[in-house]
Structure 1
């Protein structure tokens, strides 16, 4: 009679759960972020769903370059972050929230700045200003928002590293609430600083540098350029930690959007920024000459983000330029402007130019047109740039953002 050897059932491995806890604090005021547009919730300003959305974006930006198609990217993202059909491998909770005092844009920069300084950081806060025409009051934000973020995860070593990179990118380049690409709701950590804050600019390359992807289908950090200004040590009288750096960024971007980086024809030097002077980009003249039978248009500013709203001033062009793609009328700007907190306690102003698909078509009113770069533009020509993103990089150097890190 043959001998029977019992076979044990296969050993089932219990998933090993790991918990990460980050203590975070805003270094610029937080606006928006609640379920009500333009409003911030003073009791619970930071929502877990909103943070998850931010982290999903930065996960795609840091890990998405390794996937060869949008379908494979979505499949991997769904496994990590979940979807309506399945649970993901990362659960997160927002704990121990503490919000500082309410603040309005007009209190941050009284009288919209002066004719000499321009709007400063208020340049980034226009969605929260009072709109007398539509009877919309000025919105309030919050200063010094503190919270703990708890993440429970069941990930492989590679997936864990991707998550860590996404968290570092969110803290360095993102934020909480609305308008984070313009420095609103910028973050720092208040514990375990060497893990989550860079010690020096070169560490950004160590953390985020990857092989660039040619013609990416979605926004990536690989191939991005980071232009950093001088470290700004927060002072005791600063209303918030990133005050000096954010104000510096506001002045720079207001100047760049007006194109005040053209050369003086007599001296050959870059002309100074004059807030009350008109814009130097050629776009406005091109739009004034637009005809209804045109099929294409050469403009520079749409490459910096859409929509763009032109308001009528005298005989100027008025109208809205919108993106044309499946995701809607918006094209998120590939340029991020925000203060970055470093582990030594300093804050640096930073402009980050992401690697992103360029717009191919725009809509002006009911008219759809193919978009192309202008053959001639006084700002591009003065800066020696082939496109508006390269112009932004060169202008940042002129402004004093001399430290450049290529990821």
Structure 2
């Protein structure tokens, strides 16, 4: 049965900021959404159809990309970095300096909502999770691996997304106090954002991706090259071009899913005497959790040779490990020590190829700090905490998804797998 087409048309309504007068002309970047927006509103996980593109969110993303470039390319450190950031992007507190970068969003058009699950946008969701799982939108099923937080939501409004095709104009200009260095830095920051950033939540997994359709400065329509990315301490790999952005996103999502848990890559093939879709994980974490908790079924005695190695945490945390079966461990959570979250250093999304097509892209942010993060495993039912090891280079050859893809750390191995 085909999905019912569900869409809600919203008129163009975007409040305009009261911005200081300036002799600087407004520069314009015309953007088009190429993957759905996840969340992005005032309420977590709920999209805002009246204001889907927020200046505050864009400014936050620009600060992130500016900090990356400042640390990796412009050699700003600690105090000098903080002072430069506050001077350019604005400080914190009542007496903080105003930003030298003015932004406004205009002409937000073609805002439509779609649902992760079938049914009308205002209907309630099935209470039975198995029934709900079978009612996922056919259009969105290929992206279920990155939209998984919606699987456990009970309210329809938290399972809605804003459909690709939305367009908007971002206008920007600089204060008269800005100098030529400021201008060059803002231009490069904007260029990184339009290439690898996004709008809404889960942008590092490709949600809320967009392309520049037109711009007063042609540099924003030019893809960043692999060499330019390397100059900022990052790594970029690309798959062959396709005519459709959603096809490119699907490729990127499938590569990540298969690397982590695909049959023959992240998991063994199932044995001949079972109806299960896959065999045991080729990663070390499940067996080490069985060892730590001293709990396992007769069919799943711990056997992985790598032992204490929670390498998938490098892709971002927390990770909740859920075992099926009464003789297996209860749920446990891998998280950074003394913190709840670590943002993924990996960005996957479709990008424009500069010729009208799209490519699945995987961008690795700098890993120097990530690989040395202290982590812990927490039992959810008892709150017991065990210190564990995130990464140890000497064990890479004992983990098949790594050894079969060039060895090295999990992100580098994934980048090798991504283009196979």
Alignment TM-score > 0.5, same fold? yes
CA distance, structure 2, for counterparts of residue 264 and residue 60 of structure 1: 38
CA separation in 1, counterparts of 2:109 and 2:337? Answer: 41
Judging changes above 3 Å, is the alpha-carbon distance between structure 1 residues 142 and 88 closer, same or farther for their aligned structure 2 residues?
Answer: same
Mapped to 1, the partners of 2:37 and 2:360 lie a distance apart of 17
Check whether the contact 1:226–1:352 (CA below 8 A) recurs between aligned residues. yes
CA contact (8 A) 1:92 1:151 kept: yes
Is residue 44 of structure 2 the alignment partner of residue 49 of structure 1? no
Partners of 2:266 and 2:361 in 1: CA distance: 24
1:163 matched to 2:186: yes
Change in Cα spacing, 1:182 to 1:323, as seen in structure 2 (3 Å) is: same
Structure 2 gap segments, 5+ residues each: 1-20, 120-132, 269-275, 295-306, 379-383
Q: Is the 8 A contact 1:128 1:139 kept in 2?
A: yes
Greater displacement, 122-131 / 335-344: 122-131
Note closer, same or farther for the CA distance 1:174–1:206 as it changes in structure 2 (3 Å cut): same
Task: Show the counterpart of 1:90.
Answer: 101
Q: Which residue of 1 aligns with 2:13?
A: none
- Give the Å deviation of 1:43: 1.5
Corresponding residue for 2:167?
Answer: 146
2:124 aligned residue: none
**Which protein has greater RCO, CA pairs closer than 8 Å, 6+ apart?**
1
Instruction: List aligned pairs for 1:348-387, cutoff 5 A.
Output: 348-356=359-367, 357-358=369-370, 359-365=372-378, 366-369=384-387, 371-373=389-391, 375=395, 376-387=398-409
Contact 1:197 1:342 in 2 (8 A): no
1:106-148: CA deviation from partner (whole Å, max 9, x where unpaired): 369985599xxx952221111233435xx67652111122111
- Report what 2:252 is aligned to: 249
TM-score, normalisation: structure 1: 0.77
Count of residues in correspondence between the two structures: 347
Report the Cα offset of residue 253 of structure 1.
1.2
- After superposing the two structures, state which structure 1 stretch, 372-381 or 96-105, moved more: 372-381
- Asked if residue 30 in structure 1 is aligned to residue 37 in structure 2, the reply is yes
CA distance in 2, matches of 1:264, 1:332: 25
Q: CA deviation at 1:198?
A: 2.5
- The corresponding residue for 2:342 is 331
Structure 1 residues 388 and 321: CA distance shift in structure 2, 3 A:
same
TM-score, normalized by length of structure 2?
0.74
How far apart, CA to CA, are the structure 2 residues paired with 1:354 and 1:187? 20
Task: For 1:208 and 1:81, locate their aligned partners in 2 and report how far apart those are by CA, in whole Å.
Answer: 23
2:101, 2:26 → 1: CA distance?
10
- The answer to whether the Cα contact below 8 Å between 1:40 and 1:140 also exists between their aligned partners in 2 is yes
Q: 1:31 to 1:113 in 2, by over 3 A?
A: closer
Query: 1:45, 1:99 within 8 Å by CA — same for their partners in 2?
Result: no
